Amino acid sequence: MNDLLGVVDWSRAQFALTAMYHWLFVPLTIGLSLIVAIMETIYVRTGQERWKGITKYWMTLFGINFACGVATGIILEFEFGTNWSNYSWFVGDIFGAPLAIEGILAFFMEATFIAVMFFGWKKVSKRFHLASTWLTALGVSLSALWILVANAWMQRPVGMEFDPDQMRNVMTDFWAVALSPMAINKFFHAVTSGWVLAAAFVVGVSAWMLLKKSNVQAAKDSIKVATWVGLAGIVLVMWTGDGSAVEVSRSQPMKLAAMEGLYDGKEGQELVGFGILNNDKKPGDDLDPMHFSIDLPYGLSILANHDAESYVPGINDLIAGRETNPETGKMMQTPSYEERILIGQEAQQALRDYGVAKQQGDTAAMASAAKTVKDNFEYFGYGYLDSPEQAVPNVPLTFYAFRIMVMAGGLLLLLFLVLIAANLKTKKLLDNKLMLWACILSIPLVWVCSQSGWIVAEAGRQPWVIQNLMPCNAAISDISAGSVQATFWVFAAIFTGLLIAEISIMLRFISASAKRNIEQSNK
Amino acid sequence: MTIGKKLWALIIIKLALIFLLLRLFFFPNVLQERYDTDEERAEAVRNALTK
């Protein structure tokens, strides 16, 4: 058992490490491809050669990031087969189909048009080149779509039926999987967050050029384009974040409760604007969950259900089975977690019986067991929990990551608004050193914001690898913790090397650009 | 070394590490390696999930 726990913990750590490193590169690829496409559009529409130079400058930085980031996501797929083999089998073709589509799009669409984008400047017409740049941006986003569809299915499994004979879920409705509200929200939230990240990157690098008094006009023009992309991105991120909150409240109410450090909910629930958690607080005890908090009245009810008077359950309520009725916004009783554990165990016993009946060729017993599995499948995963409290995620991690994401997002919104004002009114603002340093510091800030968002999404849904159906400890392979530990450190070394390579190549390129005119497109 | 050459070198080294080192030596597909047929794999997962 200790070894199993070791395997689970190390496999989770390895997956988190890989995913977080992967997500350092991906949002910059998504957002920078859009910014480069807009810059090239300006070049084609105005015919000004200087915009060609500016486009090629940012395209080179896009290329450095793409080269470092490409294929880092494939390692996640390796991990499925090695560390998470039960999970990989259990999800069947549901995970496989979106990943296969992603592979086709990534390798054919992106690879084709990215080649034209980088190497076709003198080989194809201006308009064909521009189309290739836009198609690269589209391909990057579309390939993100399919991995996010797969992720959304894990958070809200739909469009499938479990087959006890194959021991895997079979997709029954592709469109229910691809167009689930969770998937749509997640896609737009993630892609537009990439716009924000790339915009902050362009703004920060351009601010550095302004500080160095190099390429001043090109830097100001780059800031202008990036600011509008960043502002559009952050507004869309907030809008889709609002949609995500509604989805989470319906599909993963425990995650929402953890995000808020909420143990006992009510109708007209306030939102914690700022707070310090009491880390000694446990479900069911009498301790106050917060040492200190500034609350926004009715805020959480509005966020979760778009209804100020609606009920929002806390962790204790959820364990007792109290959830929100999505139709009325009132409290409704569902099976308590104790009951769900029993239901899950009954489904697992029936699945075991199915296997025995199958070996004996007893078709009647197989049918009976299959029906029991089907009737109780909704809470199948609870059968692996020893106690209801195991269904509670790491509250402090989820709570603080959520606040860091929101606060960093708020600062970025403010930055883009100030920059818009600087563009429209007081152009001298971009001569202010303090302002330029704020722009440069927005680069680490936006990455912290982006990573925090994923921590909320993934740590907040623990212990589930598939919501309500499979916890991490059931998804794991029968392998040794030592082998996972070894590959964890191999990954840590490889990814850190890649990151150092990316940062050092980028810094050298940016530093060298200060000594030349980046508006000259033949360089 | 131009930036383009550096990036190609980086991509090739990375892909070699991922597919030749990690995939072959560190990341076997556990169910594919241990069992020959899908039926055996399904039973292995049944045993793991219902023990």
A472 with A504, same domain: the answer is yes
Q: How far apart are CA A244 and CA A252, in angstroms?
A: 11
Q: Which domain holds residue B27?
A: 3-50
> Is residue A393 helix, strand or coil?
coil
Chain B positions in Cβ-Cβ contact with residue A355 (cut-off 8 Å): 43, 46-47, 50
A81 → closest Cβ in B6, B29, B46: B29
H/E run at residue A323:
strand A322-324
Say yes or no for a CB contact (<8 Å) between B42 and A167.
yes
**Most A CBs within 10 Å, among B6, B10, B20, B35, to test the A interface:** B10
H/E run at residue A331:
strand A331-333
> Is residue A271 helix, strand or coil?
strand
Chain A positions in Cβ-Cβ contact with residue B11 (cut-off 8 Å): 67, 70
Looking at the complex, report in whole angstroms how far the Cα of residue A171 sits from the nearest Cα belonging to chain B: 17
A91 assigned to some structural domain: yes
A348 with A327, same domain: the answer is no
Q: How far apart are CA A325 and CA A333, in angstroms?
A: 9
Say yes or no for a CB contact (<8 Å) between A81 and B28.
yes
Q: Is the pLDDT of residue A3 over 60?
A: no
Contact A144, A191 (CB under 8 A): yes
A329 with A344, same domain: the answer is no
What percent of chain A stands above pLDDT 70?
98
User: Residue A389 gets which letter from DSSP?
Assistant: G
What percent of chain A stands above pLDDT 90?
74
Helix A395-424 and helix A181-211, axial crossing angle in degrees, nearest 10: 50
Chain A positions in Cβ-Cβ contact with residue B6 (cut-off 8 Å): 505
Q: How far apart are CA B50 and CA A384, in angstroms?
A: 9
Say yes or no for a CB contact (<8 Å) between A81 and B30.
yes
A415 with A289, same domain: the answer is no
A45 assigned to some structural domain: yes
Nearest CA in chain A to B40: A166
A479 → closest Cβ in B30, B32, B49: B30
Spatial CA neighbour of A477 closest among B22, B35, B21, B25: B35
A518 assigned to some structural domain: no
B15 and A CB contact within 8 Å: yes
Q: How far apart are CA A319 and CA A385, in angstroms?
A: 13
Say yes or no for a CB contact (<8 Å) between B26 and A68.
no
A49 assigned to some structural domain: yes
Q: Token pair 């709570």 is at which residue?
A: A399
A453 with A421, same domain: the answer is yes
Partners of A295 in beta bridges? A272
Q: Is the pLDDT of residue A430 over 90?
A: no
Quote the Cα angle for B12-B18-B22, to 5°: 145
The pLDDT-based confidence of A521 (bands split at 50, 70, 90) is low
Looking at the complex, report in whole angstroms how far the Cα of residue A301 sits from the nearest Cα belonging to chain B: 38
A326 with A445, same domain: the answer is no
Spatial CA neighbour of A161 closest among A176, A146, A147, A150: A176
A248 with A284, same domain: the answer is no
Q: What is the pLDDT of residue B8?
A: 85
pLDDT of A107-133, one tens digit each? 677 778 988 998 889 889 999 999 999
Whole-angstrom Cα Rg for chain B: 19
Q: How far apart are CA A360 and CA A373, in angstroms?
A: 19
| Total number of domains constituting chain B | 1
Chain A positions in Cβ-Cβ contact with residue B32 (cut-off 8 Å): 81
Contact A272, A292 (CB under 8 A): no
Q: How far apart are CA A127 and CA A42, in angstroms?
A: 12
B26 and A CB contact within 8 Å: yes
A284 with A326, same domain: the answer is yes
Contact B31, A333 (CB under 8 A): no
How does A232-262 read in b/e, with b if 16+ C-beta sit within 10 Å? bbbebbeebbebbbbbbbbbbbbbbbbbbbb
Q: Is the pLDDT of residue A102 over 80?
A: no
A120 with A74, same domain: the answer is yes
Residue type, A377: F
Contact A44, A511 (CB under 8 A): no
Q: What is the pLDDT of residue B17?
A: 83
B12 and A CB contact within 8 Å: no
Q: What is the pLDDT of residue A452?
A: 97
Burial environment of residue A462 by CB neighbours within 10 A (0 to 12, 13 to 18, 19 or more): buried
Q: How far apart are CA A443 and CA A178, in angstroms?
A: 33
Q: Is the pLDDT of residue A1 over 50?
A: no
**Most B CBs within 10 Å, among A1, A66, A72, A85, to test the B interface:** A85
pLDDT of A206-236, one tens digit each? 999 999 998 999 999 999 999 999 999 999 9
A351 → closest Cβ in B28, B32, B46: B46
A437 assigned to some structural domain: yes
What percent of chain B stands above pLDDT 70?
98
Q: What is the pLDDT of residue A427?
A: 66
pLDDT of A293-327, one tens digit each? 999 999 999 999 999 999 999 999 999 999 999 99
Tell me which of A296, A317, A333 is where a domain ends: A333
B33 and A CB contact within 8 Å: no
A176 with A39, same domain: the answer is yes
Q: How far apart are CA A431 and CA A415, in angstroms?
A: 15
Mean pLDDT of chain A: 92
Question: Residue range B23-46: average pLDDT?
Answer: 88
Chain A positions in Cβ-Cβ contact with residue B22 (cut-off 8 Å): 75, 78, 487, 490, 494
Spatial CA neighbour of A476 closest among A493, A463, A461: A463
pLDDT of A440-465, one tens digit each? 999 999 999 999 999 999 999 999 99
Q: Is the pLDDT of residue A52 over 60?
A: yes
Q: What is the pLDDT of residue A105?
A: 72
3-class SS shares of chain A: helix, strand, coil, % to 5: 75, 5, 20
Looking at the complex, report in whole angstroms how far the Cα of residue B13 sits from the nearest Cα belonging to chain A: 10
Q: What is the pLDDT of residue A133?
A: 95
Q: How far apart are CA A140 and CA A120, in angstroms?
A: 19
B42 and A CB contact within 8 Å: yes
Question: Residue range A462-487: average pLDDT?
Answer: 91
Contacts of A310 (CB under 8 A, 6+ apart): A267, A268, A301, A304, A324, A329, A330
| Total number of domains constituting chain A | 3
A17 assigned to some structural domain: yes
Tell me which of A287, A303, A333 is where a domain ends: A333
Looking at the complex, report in whole angstroms how far the Cα of residue A508 sits from the nearest Cα belonging to chain B: 10
Supply the ipTM of this predicted assembly.
Answer: 0.87
Tell me which of A333, A352, A377 is where a domain ends: A333
B25 and A CB contact within 8 Å: no
Chain B positions in Cβ-Cβ contact with residue A75 (cut-off 8 Å): 18, 22, 27
Contact A236, A280 (CB under 8 A): no
A279 with A427, same domain: the answer is no
Q: Is the pLDDT of residue A178 over 80?
A: yes
Q: What is the pLDDT of residue A33?
A: 96
Q: What is the pLDDT of residue A497?
A: 87
Q: Is the pLDDT of residue A100 over 90?
A: no
A204 assigned to some structural domain: yes
The larger pLDDT score, comparing residue A203 to residue A77, is at A203
Residue type, A97: A
Q: Which domain holds residue A306?
A: 256-333
Nearest CA in chain B to A483: B26
Question: Residue range A239-251: average pLDDT?
Answer: 94
A383 with A267, same domain: the answer is no
**Most A CBs within 10 Å, among B23, B26, B40, to test the A interface:** B26
